[in-house]
A and B are shown apart, each in its own frame.
Chain A
Amino acid sequence: MRPALKPADDSHAVRFDLTTQTLRELNAALAALPANTNQTSWHVRNPRGEHAIAVGVTVPVAISIDGPVGYYCAGMNDGADITILGNAGPGVAENMMSGTVHVMGDASQAAGATAHGGLLIIEGNASARCGISMKGVDIVVKGSVGHMSAFMAQSGNLVVLGDTGEALGDSLYEAKIFVRGIPASLGADCEEKNVTEADVSLLVDLLKRAGVEAEPREFKLYGSARKLYQFHVDNAGAY
């Protein structure tokens, strides 16, 4: 069961209504916050699927968005705790640096793309290319992910409680992929790895941070076989 999509108590929050205020006003207000702001709770109403809501936030505030959002919501997030009470469009939390983005519904394509840090939690499913070119972010998807997920993923961890689409981890670098369900297929140079105690500790921590109760031993670990061109010592001179 997914959590109920109810907005949190916002009696102390700064309220923003995107039917009467513009998206640009919201993003400008968030961008103007000093690091020590006491306006630490924000509630965005009527997002109506708009694109680029709450992008580029650099201060540790909590932002609740009470409905479906469009492209690139919470992109470049650096320290905020952003909750989306609905589905997210393509590129949610793309290039996140730090903080938390929590999608209470499904996420569309390229969730967490190129993200360097922070935690992205998706309560539902994520579609194709989840975690594409991820560079250090932790992503926990409680449902399944689509094809080409973790394509060229460089570092960080992708945890999938459901199944994955085709070509999981294609051209993977050093990211780790934990899957409880079944990958439709593995991409080029992606292989199943032995799970060490350190991997189990890592997974236990990730599951705990994402609020998931699951048996870590049920997950398989996938990583890079390090056999593609860029891994071969004979090609070192090309770099």
Chain B
Amino acid sequence: MCGIAGLFLKNRSLEPELGAMTASMLSVLTDRGPDSAGFAIYGASVPGHVKFSVRGPADFDFDALAGRFEAVVTRHDDHAVISVPEGHAAVFQAAIAGHKELGLVASGSRMELFKGTGLPDDVTKRFGLARMSGSHAIGHTRMATESAVTTAGAHPFSTGPDQCLVHNGSLSNHNDIRRFLERERMSFETRNDSEVAAGFLSWKLREGAKLDEALTSALGTLDGFYTFVVGTESGFGVLRDPVACKPAVMAETDDYVAFGSEYRAMADLPGISRAHLFEPEPAKVYFWERPA
């Protein structure tokens, strides 16, 4: 069992509330996943910069590291979001790789990604989710089944710029797909099945597929149980396996599209009593794009 919460805003006036809405949804989903939690949130970009979400020890001096690259650091507990001028991004990433005590969580122009072990409320409070704003957010509460309860094993997984995936379920052919993707120069941080699903979609996107095309391709390639919610810089997608073992409820209003593993997670969203509530169909690709 795991819990998924996703919000994609259509009404930009709600953007300052996005973090608080997402935190409240994740809190309700604690009993579906008390091991660990995480979220990706798509906020404002810093023109000409790449955002790196990095985690490291409490005493690590991120400012000293960032200073070498004219970068700006925002600290969130054991994570830091570091905005690096595009010209320095490749060198900065190499510098991160050189620090064994640091982990690169994600990068992109808008996405910031945080995850950790512990109860969802504790995790979201540590990172200050309730104060964050943005256009869309995807969160997860994990009850581990396939791999260890570690920060790296928490969701979301990011395997490409501004791309993230959360998963409820378990895959059965992930080792095979991982071997294929490694030959395609994709790299993986864990032995987790969900990270392979994220990697597969990132590979399809890298090869030029649109988000809906990548999700359609996943239907034919990934074997197992899954409800996925995925994010890109401008998009938000949902996919369930053809057997649809894992729960999913969606709500759509003029203001937002929301995803919850259960309706309970959406009960406090504004205007929910007038929302179009539906269960996403098995093996059907759902996606929404944000107008540029």
Contacts and interface: CB of A to CB of B under 8 A. Distances in A.
B213 interface: no
A24 interface: no
Contact of B247 (A68, A69, A90): A90
A61 interface: no
Task: Classify chain B: how many residues form its interface, as a range.
Answer: 10 to 19
Contact of B264 (A48, A105, A165): A48
Nearest to A128: B244
A127 B247 CA distance: 11
B30 to A, nearest CB: 14
B278 interface: yes
B14 to A, nearest CB: 21
B263 interface: yes
A69 B249 CA distance: 12
Interface in B257-283: 262-267, 273, 277-279, 281-282
Given A67-B273, A127-B244, A49 B262 contact: yes
A106 B278 contact: yes
Given A48-B264, A70-B263, A146-B244, A87 B277 contact: yes
Contacts of A87: 249, 263, 277
A106 B282 CA distance: 16
Interface in A117-148: 127-128, 146-147
B263 A49 contact: yes
Interface in A60-81: 67-71
Contacts of B242: 147
A43 B282 CA distance: 34
Interface in A161-205: 165
Contacts of A70: 262-264
B244 A68 contact: no
Interface string A89-118: 110000000000000011011000000000
B279 A108 contact: yes
Closest 9 CB pairs of A and B: A49-B263, A49-B264, A48-B267, A68-B263, A127-B279, A87-B277, A49-B267, A128-B244, A108-B279
24 contacts: A48-B264, A48-B267, A49-B263, A49-B264, A49-B266, A50-B264, A68-B263, A68-B267, A69-B263, A71-B262, A87-B249, A87-B263, A87-B277, A89-B249, A89-B262, A106-B278, A108-B249, A127-B244, A128-B243, A128-B282, A146-B244, A147-B243, A147-B282, A165-B282
Interface of B: 242-244, 247, 249, 262-267, 273, 277-279, 281-282
